[in-house]
Structure 1
Amino acid sequence: MDFLLILLQPHVVVLIAIVIVMHTVVVPRWRTRGRAKARAEQDPVLTELAKSLGGSVSGPGQASAWTPRLQRSRSEAELTLDFQRGPWHVRLTEACNPRPRSEAVLEYEHWIEVATTPVPARKIPLEFFTLSFEDGFVQVECQGRIQSDDIVFLVDMILERLDAIRDVEPRDPSAVV
């Protein structure tokens, strides 16, 4: 009963209301601003990189992964960079977890996908990443953000490995598998 009396005190009610408003209104706005700021910083960099690679960038609402499993990920695709490297079609997707564990930190991932001829699903562990073959694509998932300077280097490492695998061939991602 004493606990109920304490909760009904006007100053306690006001504090509880403030906490509820902060949690439901203010914190999501901070996250949205943080995402918008990060996207604004990344957009020009990726646009310039796309131009240099002869590719294109898609933003929120248009960004998506090729691979069905990544399309169903808990992280939301925010930016995609599509380009061709030799005969290989490549898509780099920057995704963000809409519900981070911490109120202040957004959790980013990068997905690198390369369109290939269909091969049996399998995983090939390499020194820095694992190649996952699925649904006519090979994919690499990287936690955190990849700096734009590292994108081409990382993609070239993946493609070099794919060139060495006998039964894997490049294909157009729009071709029906």
Structure 2
Amino acid sequence: MDITINQIMEDASTRWNCSVSEAKMRLKSSLWDVNMESELAITRTSNSAKQQQQQDMKDEEEEEKDNAWGNLTTSVELALPDNKWIEDGYECPICLLRQCVFRGIQLSCQHIICRSCLSDYLKNSILSSGNPFITCPAFKCNAPIEECVIHVLTDLSTFAKYRQNVKSVEVVS
């Protein structure tokens, strides 16, 4: 049985005894937690001109992430076998910890990775290899990870490096 994001949100709102919009905000805020440290570092900058420029960049990033969030929720739909799976969660194939279903990202290949592991994997892949073709970290899976997922789960500088890697490959081609 396929369940849509809206059905998941309705189920979450029932379980958390909150509105659907609050359940969506809880899920969305968990994705934003990944970027909190970098945002705090940006706001502590002492140079006012640099601070304003960084604030503008942060505002742009938030707007882009809002747009990317919409893409992510439509392209990363969860196909859940039953509602018990939502209660029990899943085991991340990277860290092997049992996770709440709302802390995982289901990739286009259907593997579900916890956001912490996926975020670390993306950052390491981008910064160490320079290869813009990032694939699912699950064992023997070569499915590409969508750009909207990379954008939502990486900080501004890492995503900029990713885009630079993509552009360098496009120029060579």
Q: Which has the higher helix share?
A: 2
Which entry has the higher C-alpha Rg, 1 or 2? Answer: 1
TM over 0.5: no
Q: TM-score, normalised by structure 2?
A: 0.32
* Greater strand share, structure number: 1
TM-score (norm 1): 0.32
